[in-house]
Amino acid sequence: MPPTPRELGYRFPAEWEERKATWLSWPHNRETWPHSLEAIQRLWWLLMDTLSGSERVSVLVSEEEYNRHPMPYGQVKIIRQNIIFHKCPTNDAWLRDCGPTFLKGHAGLPAALIDWKYNAWGEKFPPYDADDAIPKYIARFGNYRRFEPGIVMEGGSVETDGEGTLLTTENCLLNPNRNPHLKREEIEEILREYLSVDKIIWLQGEIAGDDTDGHIDQLTRFVCPGVVVTALEEDPQDENYQALKDNYQHLMQLSDARGRALEVIPLPMPRPIFAPEGHRLPASYANFYIGKSVVIVPSFEDPADAVAGEILQRLFPQHAVFLLPARELVYGCGAFHCITQQEPA
């Protein structure tokens, strides 16, 4: 058996660690946003401009979109300062879930990433072959060593403090639509060996409308070692109330891999948002993204927007917090964390 990332000295870094770039996939699938694709594409430009002030933004685009811009340079184009387009086919825009998990190694180790299998959240949205191939493209482009655990996994299903603690959910990782041949203990062993974590915290439940079967990045996030924010619904009549309350109470009893009792900070939930077709959408402030010098927080035109922004600004005093519009984005059942993937330095 080849050595695992853990055996070689790699680890899964926290999102706030030293940054090289943010990766995105250009939105083009009208089935995902049938009412607002053009508005979504304008939102991508707003996001790219916000991030690119302090870090490189690498964007995977179709050949059609690539050819709309001048300055050809093989497979890559510099569109604006710090914004780079890569000609790479994609099925959809959820790069957090189909893209690679970047690893950080000891000094002298070559850069590396994990290429999980991807099946569009349990075969829900075929085709997904182009998205499944994205880690191979990024590995070739960046000359990354590529590890293949051979299991289905999405980036939004795992969250780390960078110091050996991993958050995930039973609803997603133990769902038979991902890896029905694997038991919980076998999945834990793969996570330990490929992400170099020592303690795995399992939460339960999912918010209404979440088609990922309960990704952790809609529920609970690390903001620094020993500290998490977690979505908490105040309305006892809301369908999310009990599951989020149970997670909060469970987290209050836990410690991390280094023995620190977790500090648990509640994040409010926005009022329910419904699609034109009538179903509820998975709106959550927990789906924020930590950039190099900014934090991107979804805004839902809700009174709780400002509250969530203020909480995260206190927790990230060295970052500028930006509330970007997400009501149309969440129609696709995700927000800013779902569409981004950090590349550590």
Among candidate residues 98, 172, 333, 338, the one labeled active-site is 338
**Could you write out the three-class secondary structure of the chain?**
CCCCHHHHCEECCCCCCCEEEEEEECCCCCCCCCCCHHHHHHHHHHHHHHHHCCCEEEEEECHHHHHCCCCCCCCEEEEECCEEEEECCCCCCCHHHHCCEEEEECCCCCCEEECCECCHHHHCCCCCHHHHCHHHHHHHHHCCEEECCCCECCHHHCEECCCCEEEEEHHHHCCCCCCCCCCHHHHHHHHHHHHCCCEEEEECCCCCCCCCCCCHHHCEEEEECCEEEEECCCCCCCCCHHHHHHHHHHHCCCECCCCCECEEEEECCCCCCECCCCCECCCCCCCCEECCCEEEEEECCCCHHHHHHHHHHHHCCCCEEEEEECCCHHHHCCCHHHHCEEEEC
Q: Please say if 338 is a catalytic residue.
A: yes
Active-site residue list = 338
